[in-house]
Amino acid sequence: MSTTHPGNTLDALPAPEDRPGPEDRPAPDALPEQQRIRLGGVTREEVLTLAGAAGGSLGLDWLLYERILPFSGAFGFLLCWYLLFLALYAVAGRLQWDALTVRERLATALAWSSGLLVLAVIGDQIGYVLYRGLDAARHLNFFTESMRSTAALDPITSGGCLHAVVGSLEQLGMATLFSVPLGILTAVFLVESGSTRRGARLVKPVRVLVEAMTALPSIVAGLFVLGVVILTLGVEKSGFAASLALTVMMMPIVTRAAEVVVRLVPGTLKEASYALGASQWRTVWHVVLPTARPGLTTAVVLGMARGVGETSPVLLTAGFTTRLNLDAFHDNQASLPLFIWNYVKQPYPDMVARAFAGGLTLMAVVLILFVTARVLGRHRTPSERRTRRPLRATAATAATASAANKAAQVAN
Amino acid sequence: MTETAQPPYPAAEFGDGTTDPPTIPLPPVPADGAPGGPSDGPSGGPSDGSSHGPSHGPSNGLSGLETRDLTAWFGQRKVLERVSLQMRAGEITALIGPSGCGKSTYLRILNRMHEMVRGAALAGEVLLDGEDVYATGRRPAEVRRRIGMVFQRPNPFPAMSLYDNVISGLKLAGIKASRDERDHLVESSLRQAGLWDEVSNRLGTPGGALSGGQQQRLCIARSLAVSPEILLMDEPCSALDPTSTRRIEETIAELRHRLTIVIVTHNMQQAQRVSQSCAFFLASHDTPGRIVEAGPTERLFTSPADPRTADYVNGRFG
Ligand SMILES: Nc1ncnc2c1ncn2[C@@H]1O[C@H](COP(=O)(O)OP(=O)(O)OP(=O)(O)O)[C@@H](O)[C@H]1O
Ligand SMILES: [Mg+2]
């Protein structure tokens, strides 16, 4: 920097960080930038070995598959390639490194490749749905119209999934409204009531039940609501009935995820709360739940993710319609999974494209829900409004307040 | 001294049970009169300052605390036996003794935190202003509000701002207060705890965003905000550096005129600096904790009656 020359008196007010240091000691930035030691990282020989093994195995695999062995098929080809790659990598590695290093590197390669595999599968799914669904999702009408006046062979520029989006959101919203308080309360019960002898006796069966419910096949949840609520209690097939079925699916997931985070709240915080004269439930409400809030959000998100994609409970309880039905309590109501299920089995390419576009929409809805929940679940940022206390005025009043306090104590 | 150990207090009779923290049924007390052997003089009734009758009368508007024949169990294990001690109003009482002798247990019995441990039991009396804290029908929450507690590790509520931390006692006890009252309470509590100047311009930041010593003073402010009559402190400085320790000791000394303080400490100099009375607890591997000697701090440190006290305060064991 040029401003660090000593004796630069013309600069009336140099910025503090640019002010020249004492004459005898060089300013810090006069010294050359220090070379940082390379920590970890990969060397060129590692990368080349990896690339060589990958390339070599690909060639070998091609030779085997296309020229020698009587096999064919992409899956076998990829699997073979992977196995050959591991073998080649191990051999090439053994030529330069000792056995321990080779094992270490192989383990790293395995871990990385399984991670990449998961990414690839997800990418493939999204990409495929995108590819198939873009035909329909390209047209704005897909998001603004229902399928009410669209016949089987109508062009792709008519009809859409608006009714299904509305149905999905209403059903999921209601199911969340039912299952989240229920699930969190159950979690609190499981954690807090275990400390008394009476509670401990009830906690165990409840936990077993909740665990069993997580494994409940979703079609059974649908049958349960169909049998009890629709056929016995006489509620009509509607979004409301569907949301009840979704609640049955979501509640155990929310409960189990919430129980874990509620249990993680440090006991010292609860003790602090009790020592201030709080009751158990005030402690839960004011200390335990706020402290566990980020984790609780995850629990809610997990539950919603489970609920939004459920097809079979909705199929039995909501009916299906092509019209937009805003009223969740009366008449059939479509939802996105039902929309997909209904159109993907039709023999018309445009209908199948609409189904894939519906899948795309469903993924977008899930993404939006996730992001919203994450944002809501963060600890509130420091509320700055509280920092502007009336500081000057209160010095005197504080004295009077403590005096009054003392007076009150003397009085009683 | 009284001869009968009190019967155990059945937990089912505390309050209505729905709003209180869980209370644990206390197991039956072994037949009394068990302490036969080692109860030679200093264990039960000290022959010094703490034995001059039921003089728990608040002389200066402050409340005193007294225990009589307090015995405590964890499951079948007896950890305290017939501890009688008077903590006089407006004084700072220090509890000293080697690790594991039951000081924390004793302190937690005083404000009914002991019964929150599963399998915990006790016998004896704890008198706050002459009234038994464990009397039938007395709500633990009410006792805890009158007898505040500061823990060894600072434990501010991380999900609350500094401001909310200080007034958390109001919220947790369900006390309504207007905005102005709360503002004043926050300022006066923080001033009493000696923290106001350091945090007054950032009351909105979360409770965890302070240094350890500041967090501990925040916890003190939090306890003071519900205006307790007694403040129990369990090694409040053990996690802190000398400077923070000094600040907290100053705070304690200033608080002395407003409330009665009981402090557990492993630091002999600290006990000498801050306390007026002192009690020395001791337990050996097979006997439960007892008070070996109690009395004015100065006497305990300069001319202790019991050789074990002399050894301990001079750092020869423990
Ligand atoms: N929750 C508990 N369950 C069972 N035993 C316990 C429990 N808490 C403490 N104890 C036992 O009770 C005895 C007294 O413990 P306490 O915590 O009161 O000691 P202390 O004097 O505070 O020690 P320190 O100075 O190390 O804090 C110890 O022997 C301890 O093992
Ligand atoms: Mg302790």
| Of B155, B185, B204, Cβ closest to residue A386 | B204
Which distant-in-sequence residues (6+ apart) come within 8 Å of A389 by Cβ? B183, B186, B187, B200, B203
| Of A274, A379, A389, Cβ closest to residue B21 | A274
pLDDT digits (tens, 9 = 90+) for A350-362: 889 889 999 999 9
pLDDT at A223 over 80: yes
| Residue located via tokens 């940022």 | A381
Task: List pocket residues of ligand 1, CB cut-off 6 Å.
Answer: B 74, 79, 99-105, 117
8 A C-beta contact, residue B53 and residue B43: no
User: Percentage of chain A surpassing pLDDT 70?
Assistant: 85
Name which of A385, A263, A268 is nearest B161 in CA terms: A385
User: Exposure of A408 by Cβ count < 10 A (0-12 exposed, 13-18 middle, 19+ buried)?
Assistant: exposed
Q: Looking at residue A380, what is its pLDDT?
A: 55
Length of chain B: 318
* Interface contact B21-A385, CB threshold 8 A: no
Categorize the per-residue pLDDT at B297 as very low, low, confident or very high, splitting at 50, 70 and 90. Answer: very high
8 A C-beta contact, residue A359 and residue A343: no
8 A C-beta contact, residue A150 and residue A346: no
- The DSSP result for A233-275, as a single string, is S-PPSSHHHHHHHHHHHHHHHHHHHHHHHHHHS-HHHHHHHHH
In chain A, CATH 1.10.3720.10 covers 162-379
A residues 220..279 contacting B (CB < 8 A): 266, 268-269, 271-279
Q: Which atom of ligand 1 is nearest to the CA of B107?
A: 18
H or E segment to which residue A342 belongs: helix A336-344
User: How close does chain B come to A353, measured CA to CA in Å?
Assistant: 48
What is the per-residue burial (b if ≥16 Cβ within 10 Å, else e) of B113-134? Answer: bbbbeeebbbbbbbbbbeeebb
Distance CA B280, CA B221 (A): 28
User: Exposure of A237 by Cβ count < 10 A (0-12 exposed, 13-18 middle, 19+ buried)?
Assistant: buried
Q: Looking at residue A408, what is its pLDDT?
A: 45
Distance CA A265, CA A292 (A): 7
The CA-based diameter of chain A, rounded to the nearest angstrom, is: 103
CATH architecture group of domain A162-379: Orthogonal Bundle (1.10)
Distance CA B259, CA B150 (A): 14
Mutational pocket test of ligand 1: of B105, B110, B151, B234, the residue with most ligand atoms within 8 Å of the beta carbon: B105
Closest residue of B to A377, CA-based? B159
| Of B118, B148, B183, Cβ closest to residue A275 | B148
Name which of B90, B40, B83 is nearest B60 in CA terms: B90
Q: Looking at residue B117, what is its pLDDT?
A: 86
Q: Looking at residue B17, what is its pLDDT?
A: 37
The count of other CB atoms within 10 Å of the CB of residue A62 is 13
pLDDT digits (tens, 9 = 90+) for A322-350: 888 888 788 888 889 999 998 889 888 88
- The DSSP result for B41-67, as a single string, is STTTS-SSGGGS-S----SSS---EEE
pLDDT digits (tens, 9 = 90+) for B255-281: 888 899 999 999 999 999 999 999 999
What counts of helices (H) and strands (E) characterise chain A?
A: 16, 0
Give the mean pLDDT of chain B.
80
8 A C-beta contact, residue A88 and residue A109: no
